[in-house]
Amino acid sequence: MIEMEDPFISEEEAAQYDRQIRLWGLDAQKRLRGSRVLLAGLGGLGAEVAKNLILAGVKELTLLDHEQVSEESCRAQFLVPVTAQGKNRAQASLERAQNLNPMVKVHADSDRIEEKSDDFFLEFEAVCLTGCSKDLMVRIDRLCSQHNIKVFCGDVYGYYGYMFCNLGQEHKYIEEKPKLVKPTGNSGGPEAKKAKVDINETIVVKKTTSFCTLKEALGVDWTSEKAKARLKKTPADYFMLHVLLKFRTDKGRDPDPQTFAEDSKLLIQIRDDVFEALEVSTDLLREDFASYCFSEMSPVCAVVGGVLGQEVVKALSQRDPPHRNFFFFDGRTGNGVVDYFGP
């Protein structure tokens, strides 16, 4: 990670970010304003994350994507004009992204992420990966972990979406809590001895938490007694993610609506193979999941992109407790869950 310069908030920026500064403080906004972020993948989810980071006021955002704009991406991605089909997605997204906040430097990079050198990723304080293969995410996550760079991964598959974050072995942050007021006087009774919450006054608490790598998070040994004990409480979305990442690895793409019947059967077959390798029962993930994980649905992108963008902002500003370490969203039920996987 490159050395961060001392961020400076001008009067114009203070006016632009007034509500945010009132919410999380000037120091948090300064840390955010001094941060450089890499966002890989400009699909529907990537567009939502880009919007949220630009409006929050990071210093620089690099949009990295080698894919071309398609009819499908035009439906899910609001940063590209409908007239941009056939153009590079990062380049086509640049103008609208920059117009969201001229105070943020937005760059477009049309290279393939697989061809980037390790040094490229060390230029950023945070790296956010969407639409990447499992092996690539594991490699970049391992590299960034070694250099104290915060890593975020996320994707949307139809009605389903997820986010993963690795903020390092020692992530420090502050949390604002209501102040507890100790009782005074000699009034009797048990209620008099209890501390009460003062809603008009808060205190700032410094905290530290740790994260594991993506490889560790996906490599849980489900044959261990500890893992077996929590199996019933484990969201099916975690195992579904294994299946969808395996599909992407095997086919070099995500499930495609144009080959719905073929891909649905393949997803079920991959589920059986993955669950056999993990030594868990296929009853944990019903077969009907295969009918609901095609394309990027805009409402799901908005929810997952909102959470992912929020977590990047919280991590960079070192304000408020982060999600540790997975967030899963099911658009069919409207439910989201945060859960930790790893050692």
- pLDDT tens across 69-100, in order? 988 877 889 999 989 999 999 999 999 999 99
11-169+297-338 under CATH 4.10.80.400, yes or no: no
**What CA–CA distances, in Å, run from 115 to 70, 253, 285?**
23, 18, 36
Say which residues have a Cβ less than 8 Å from residue 280's Cβ, sequence separation at least 6.
222, 231, 239
pLDDT band at 7 (very low <50, low <70, confident <90, very high): low
pLDDT exceeds 90 at position 192: no
pLDDT exceeds 80 at position 109: yes
* pLDDT in the model for residue 75: 82
- Domain locations along the chain: 11-169+297-338, 171-209, 214-291
* pLDDT in the model for residue 9: 76
* pLDDT in the model for residue 6: 54
* pLDDT in the model for residue 2: 46
65 residue type, one letter: D
Contact 53, 312 (CB under 8 A): yes
283-335 pLDDT, tens digit each? 999 999 999 999 999 999 999 999 999 999 999 999 999 999 999 999 999 99
Rounded CA gap, 133 and 180, in Å?
A: 48
pLDDT band at 274 (very low <50, low <70, confident <90, very high): very high
* pLDDT in the model for residue 212: 97
* pLDDT in the model for residue 191: 55
143-178 pLDDT, tens digit each? 999 999 999 999 999 999 999 999 999 999 999 887
